[in-house]
Amino acid sequence: MTSSAAAEPQRYLEAQIRWRPLEIVFWLATLLPFVLTPSYLVLASQIAITALFALSLDLILGYAGIVSLGHAAYFGFGSYTAGLIAKWGWGEPLSGLIIAAAAAGLLGYLTSFIIARFRHLALIMITLGLGLLLAEAANSASWLTGGADGLQGVRMWNLLGIFPFDLYGTAAYGYALAMLFLLFLVARRLINSPFGLALRGIRENAVRMPAIGAPSPAHIRKIYTIAAVIAGVAGALLAQTTETVSLETLSFQRSADVLVILILGGAGRLYGGIVGAIIYMVARDQLSDINPQYWYFWIGTLLVAVVIFLPNGILGGLARLMPSGRSRA
Amino acid sequence: MIASAFGVLFDGFAYGMLLFLLSVGLSVTLGMMNFVNLAHCSFAMLGGYVAVTLTNEIGWPFLASLPVAFLAAAVVSVAFERVLYRRLYRATDLDQCLLTIGIVFISVAVAAYVYGTIQQPLNVPAYLRGTVSVMGQSVGVYRLFLIGVALVVTLVLVATLEYTRFGAQVRAAVDNQRMARGLGIDVDRVFAITFALGSGLAGLGGALAIEIVGLDHAFAFTYLVYVLIVVAVGGLGSIAGSFVAATLLGISDMAGKYYFPELGAFLIYFVMVTLLMWRPAGLFGRR
């Protein structure tokens, strides 16, 4: 952030909200898989869902500085809600998605009262603990969730009554991409608002913000709930496009993966999660065919390298190569 | 099967002692440098594999492999400390988390590459197998041995910290790192030694754990959560806190598994979250 930003926050925000050509090119390019790689549309839909999940984590981690090791709780909660609604006979995707998002948001709102009270190691451990609690609860309640076998019998109706969710993933990718773009717009607007600036203030100095009159706990509760809603949408998308829900959606592994994805891409940047998701998912798709074990060797090496050499992620490294600081989207 | 309360308490205590060995090093180093070392259990896993290799491939007696497990973990951890960790002492929690979780990923993959993904068998000598009767209750010999080792380690640790010059330096560095530096204590050196000792204890714990919980390539991940719970609940930098937290966790986990098997690990996570909400700095933590 430049010094002029501090002097004129209004103009800084207005400059940030303008669309850059690179951004427009990027979003147009997301349509290319329909034409260029139609056989990879299922993977593309998975990438869009993961990117949405990473965007949700970016809001709390990248902007508000809340480190969470249990963010999969909201992803999985949305996933199970959407799956259960469809299993009980209401297979309409959009309304199911909204209900799942509301359910995840409610869970996020309730837990945000806990989250807003803690920082540092206690916060990391409490998010981890809450995530594990929910995963264990879902595992125990196998009459509801199907336990380790996953939720079976999810049948979705056609999207908008027209497009069926088929094996090619055309509807799945279109649906996931539309949701990603929509929620990206919401996040973009949110971040480039005074509220977004307040969040960055909390990240930089959590003690000073209340001292200048900003209600930090209220801000944290708000952004945490919003992030939970977005994570719930991502989870619901996964449940609806794959027509199954497994315990893996709630697992620590998923929380850790999304953290890795966001860090690789660059936390505190709107495109960080999306870029990270593309690189991570494509690399995993290519490398884990050889052996899933070795995949973790490479991801570990990459993590160590990023922390040591690229402290701001891949996008941060690219931004440093650019002559001006304007690519800080 | 209804287990006797004594049996549950005894098994839980033995399990708790194992968790104590695995986690005490992390607690002290976290308290001193505020360095979040999630790779702590990777060093424990290394100790486990060293013990397995020595006893199964080379035919060493199990007891002789334990000191080697300790040494191997200590030496390797110092190498990591010198090359990688040292650069990040002033970095954020998040960067430290990420670096060390990267090391966990690498260690898990390397273990899977070298040893495969199966559970490692370990030949425990005959005199450590079976059960003996203590006050009319039958208890496992190996668990008794484990408790003995852990108690000896605890005594040595407490004595070292309380009564030696080095121990005083460690306590000073944990209490106030800057002040300790100001008094001319070479905190970096003290930290490196403490780090090696703590990782060595984890290696010893890893070797001792095989008989109780098994050893496979995912060990570094599986027990990371337990170790973090012990450290967070006990409070950073507190040996007494780790001891109490490990005992509490071991017994509640074992009791949960015996009496409410359908709840799974729900109970211990619930205990942890509740304790942390009540005391965010841990039972014995001061910060």
Q: Do B272 and A129 touch (CB under 8 A)?
A: yes
Q: d(Cα B69, Cα B48) in Å, to the nearest integer?
A: 7
Tens-place pLDDT, residues B73-100: 999 999 998 888 888 887 777 788 888 8
- Collect all residues from A whose CB is shorter than 8 A from any CB in B: 61, 67, 114, 117-118, 120-122, 124-126, 128-130, 132-133, 136-137, 139-140, 252, 256, 259-260, 263, 267, 293-297, 299-304, 306-308, 311
Tens-place pLDDT, residues A56-72: 999 999 888 888 888 99
Location of structure tokens 């695995």: B22
Question: Does B229 lie at the interface with A, CB-CB under 8 angstroms?
Answer: yes
The nearest CA of chain A is from the CA of B217 a distance in Å of: 10
Q: d(Cα B203, Cα B125) in Å, to the nearest integer?
A: 20
Beta strands of B121-265 (E only): which ranges? 131-134, 137-140
Q: d(Cα A282, Cα A279) in Å, to the nearest integer?
A: 5
Location of structure tokens 């916060």: A123
User: A154: which strand partners?
Assistant: none
pLDDT (0 to 100) of residue B1:
45
pLDDT (0 to 100) of residue A39:
79
Q: Shortest CA distance to B29 belongs to which of B89, B107, B115, B70?
A: B89
**Contact call for residues A227 and A155 (beta carbons, < 8 A):** no
pLDDT of A327 > 50? The answer is: no
Tokens of B128: 């450590």
Tens-place pLDDT, residues B211-220: 888 888 888 8
pLDDT (0 to 100) of residue A110:
93
Q: Shortest CA distance to A227 belongs to which of A104, A327, A317, A110?
A: A104
Q: d(Cα A114, Cα B31) in Å, to the nearest integer?
A: 24
Q: Three-class SS of residue A116?
A: coil
- pLDDT class for A329, splitting at 50, 70, 90? very low
Tens-place pLDDT, residues B110-166: 998 888 878 887 777 777 777 777 766 777 888 889 999 999 999 998 898 889 999
The nearest CA of chain B is from the CA of A96 a distance in Å of: 29
User: B137: which strand partners?
Assistant: B134
Tens-place pLDDT, residues B24-62: 888 888 877 778 888 899 999 999 999 999 988 888 888
Q: Do B276 and A304 touch (CB under 8 A)?
A: no
Fill in the amino acid letter for B144. L
Q: Three-class SS of residue A159?
A: strand
Q: Three-class SS of residue A309?
A: helix
Tokens of B87: 């650069």
Tokens of A234: 């991502």
* A-B Cβ pairs (cutoff 8 Å, strict): 118
Fill in the amino acid letter for A269. R
Question: Does B266 lie at the interface with A, CB-CB under 8 angstroms?
Answer: yes
Q: Shortest CA distance to A154 belongs to which of A226, A241, A75, A213?
A: A241
Q: Do A125 and B217 touch (CB under 8 A)?
A: no
Tokens of B10: 């005894």
Domains parsed from chain B with CATH numbers: 5-278 (1.10.3470)
Tokens of B250: 């071991």
- Interior angle at CA A136, CA A135 and CA A137, nearest 5: 90
pLDDT of A283 > 80? The answer is: yes
> A63 to each of A40, A56, A140, A154, A309, how far by Cα in Å?
32, 11, 35, 36, 22
pLDDT (0 to 100) of residue A33:
82
Q: Do A61 and B108 touch (CB under 8 A)?
A: no
Mean pLDDT of A29-51: 84
Q: Do B99 and A297 touch (CB under 8 A)?
A: no
- Give the DSSP per-residue string, A262-274: HHHH-TTSTTHHH
pLDDT (0 to 100) of residue B286:
62
Tens-place pLDDT, residues A252-261: 888 888 988 8
Q: d(Cα A219, Cα A222) in Å, to the nearest integer?
A: 5
CB contacts of B36 in chain A (<8 Å) are: 121, 124
Tens-place pLDDT, residues A9-22: 777 777 777 888 88
Mean pLDDT of A227-235: 95
Q: Do B269 and A129 touch (CB under 8 A)?
A: yes
Q: Shortest CA distance to A271 belongs to which of A216, A328, A231, A214?
A: A328
Q: Do A303 and B101 touch (CB under 8 A)?
A: yes
Mean pLDDT of chain A, nearest integer: 84
Q: Do A122 and B276 touch (CB under 8 A)?
A: yes
Alpha helices in chain A (DSSP H): 3-7, 9-17, 21-29, 32-36, 41-57, 72-87, 93-115, 120-140, 142-145, 170-191, 194-204, 208-211, 216-242, 252-265, 272-287, 292-309, 313-321
- Class of residue A26 by CB neighbours under 10 A (exposed 0-12, middle 13-18, buried 19+): middle
Q: Do B106 and A308 touch (CB under 8 A)?
A: no
**Which letter, b or e, does each residue of A47-72 get, where b requires 16 or more Cβ atoms within 10 Å of its Cβ?**
bbbbbbbbbbbbbbbbbbbbbbbbbb
**Maximum distance among all Cα pairs of chain A, rounded to whole angstroms:** 59
CB contacts of B30 in chain A (<8 Å) are: 121
Q: d(Cα B212, Cα A215) in Å, to the nearest integer?
A: 50
pLDDT (0 to 100) of residue A49:
93
Fill in the amino acid letter for A324. S
Q: d(Cα B226, Cα B205) in Å, to the nearest integer?
A: 13
Nearest to B228 among A125, A260, A294 (CB): A125
> A265 to each of A63, A268, A302, how far by Cα in Å?
14, 10, 12
**Contact call for residues A42 and A221 (beta carbons, < 8 A):** no
Tens-place pLDDT, residues A72-93: 999 999 999 999 988 888 878 8
Question: To probe the interface with A, which of B97, B238, B257 has the most A CB atoms within 10 Å?
Answer: B97
Which residues, including other chains, have CB under 8 Å from residue A218's CB and lie 6 or more apart? Answer: none
Tens-place pLDDT, residues A161-207: 777 777 777 888 888 999 999 999 999 999 888 888 888 888 888 78
Mean pLDDT of A92-108: 91
- pLDDT class for B67, splitting at 50, 70, 90? very high
Alpha helices in B85-140 (DSSP H): 93-115
Interaxial angle between packed helices A93-115 and A120-140, expressed in degrees from 0 to 180 and rounded to the nearest 10? 140
- Interior angle at CA A271, CA A267 and CA A275, nearest 5: 90
pTM here is: 0.83
Tokens of A205: 């100095």
Interaxial angle between packed helices B239-259 and B219-234, expressed in degrees from 0 to 180 and rounded to the nearest 10? 120
Q: d(Cα B72, Cα B50) in Å, to the nearest integer?
A: 8
Mean pLDDT of chain B, nearest integer: 85
Give the containing element (helix H, strand E) for B246: helix B239-259
Nearest CA in chain B to A118: B280
